[in-house]
Amino acid sequence: MARIEKVRVGVLGAGAWARFAHIPGYQRDPRCELVAIADPMIERAREFAAEFGIPSVYASHEELIAREDIHLVDVCTPSATHFDLSWAALEAGKHVLCEKPVAYDYTETLRAAAFARSKGLKTKLGFTFRYSPAMRYMKQLIDDGFVGTPFIFNGFEQNSQWLDPQNPLRQVDVEADQSVIQVSSLEGYGAPIMDIGHLFMGSRFEQVVGTMKNFIPERMVRQTGTMMRMNIDDADIFIGEFASGAIGSIQTSFVTVGNYPGIEARVYGSKGALICRLVEENGICETLKAATGDQVEFRELEIPERFYPPGGNREESWRSLFYANLVSSFISEILSDGPENEGSFVDGAHVQELINAVELSFRQRRWVAIPLAPGAIS
């Protein structure tokens, strides 16, 4: 591919996440330029274009993707549309940033990753939380040997937004069989902390056992505007073993009291321990604490300035702060000639395979090995 001097970006989807995270991230990086936005609800797209100074607006995603002068397509649309839009963008020769999941079946995400690689294109998943300054610093400390050999990973994502059944629930399939519990929190909230587990422990889960639970059955659903029976996992938990020999646990929920987003990652090793919390509390959006064998009381660490985007600090909204780092990472990768980038569709496929494995474990009430056997989730 011809060398790109400035990355020209087209955004698919004019929703809240595009407004508060994606678009501000691109505007913060002088190496890219927002040139177009598309949404079937074209009035929303026009509103965003006026608000952010985006020159071109489309009602059809196809029109945007067809533009030859766009280098990067950002897929920020409902989950069920991610795979088809990402594939179309790759087919058109665009780099792709896609919100998670690319597909509900991990093999489809691997297929898209292979297709991108065959065309010399870069991909990235919206694993927002691995790009927080505190998480970036924690990763460096682990790599530098602060915890020694990592033994245990604990991951949490708590969110009390849907303790109130009147709070409209999004991203659910209203036509799903309500006699069978459907995956929801495990995927929507589990994915980011699973990704961080793989990142911090240096290997993937290789066997897991888990369970899912529906605590609040009747909910207001955004798509219908009515109270409905929604047999979803609004809480789940699993334990597992990593390929490295370490062990781990992950818990996610829509109904655990605690401020949003509520990500917490803990790593305990042979020399020390680190706990990172990405929770907006008292005006602060992230904290990192550490302990060592000779100083067992946890103390807060200061995040070095180099881990923040320009002008960023921990009192900024987590949405714009973390996503600025994500965008910066992807723009750097697109502009370089380096190998497979971090947080790519391959990483997304590994996370999705873990989600599929935990669901299979719950359905069959047994430990499940990863990689999954061919046809295991069909």
Please, what's the b/e burial string for 118-140 (b: 16 or more CB within 10 A of its CB; e: otherwise)? eeebbbbbbbbbbbbbbbbbbbe
d(CA 19, CA 61): 17
Confidence band of 376 (pLDDT split at 50, 70, 90): confident
d(CA 63, CA 248): 45
d(CA 342, CA 32): 19
SS3 10: strand
* C-alpha torsion angle, residues 157, 159, 165, 170 (rounded to 10): -70
Largest CA distance in the chain: 61
User: Omega before 261 cis (within 30°)?
Assistant: yes
Residue 341: the pLDDT is 87
How many H-runs (helices) and E-runs (strands) does the chain carry?
11, 17
Segment 73-127, tens digit of pLDDT: 999 999 999 999 999 999 999 999 999 999 999 999 999 999 999 999 999 999 9
Residue 4: the pLDDT is 82
Q: Does 378 score more than 70 pLDDT?
A: no
Residue 1: the pLDDT is 53
Nearest to 327 by CA among 82, 2, 33, 81: 33
Q: Under 8 Å CB-to-CB from 346, ≥6 apart: which residues?
A: 110, 113, 340
Segment 117-169, tens digit of pLDDT: 999 999 999 999 999 999 999 999 999 999 999 999 999 998 888 999 999 99
Chain center to CA of 55: 28
> Averaged over 187-194, what is the pLDDT?
95
130-317+351-364 in CATH: which number?
A: 3.30.360.10
| Domain ranges for the chain | 7-121, 130-317+351-364
Per DSSP bridges, beta strands 32-38 and 7-12 are parallel
Taking the model in full, what pTM does it have?
Answer: 0.94
Q: How far is CA 137 from CA 146, 258, 272, 336, 347, in A?
A: 11, 24, 15, 23, 20
Domains 7-121 and 130-317+351-364 share a fold: no
Q: Does 3 score more than 90 pLDDT?
A: no
Positions of E strands within 181-300: 205-213, 218-221, 226-229, 235-242, 247-253, 261-269, 272-279, 287-292, 295-300
Residue 269: the pLDDT is 98
Segment 207-237, tens digit of pLDDT: 999 999 999 999 999 999 999 999 999 999 9
Sign of CA dihedral 97, 100, 104, 105: positive
> Averaged over 331-359, what is the pLDDT?
93
Confidence band of 375 (pLDDT split at 50, 70, 90): confident
Residue type, 299: R
> Averaged over 340-351, what is the pLDDT?
94
Please, what's the b/e burial string for 154-192 (b: 16 or more CB within 10 A of its CB; e: otherwise)? bbbbbbbebeebeeebeebeeeeebeebbbbbbbbbbbb
Residue 26's CB is within 10 A of a number of other CB atoms, namely: 25
Domain 7-121: which CATH class? alpha beta
Residue 117: the pLDDT is 95
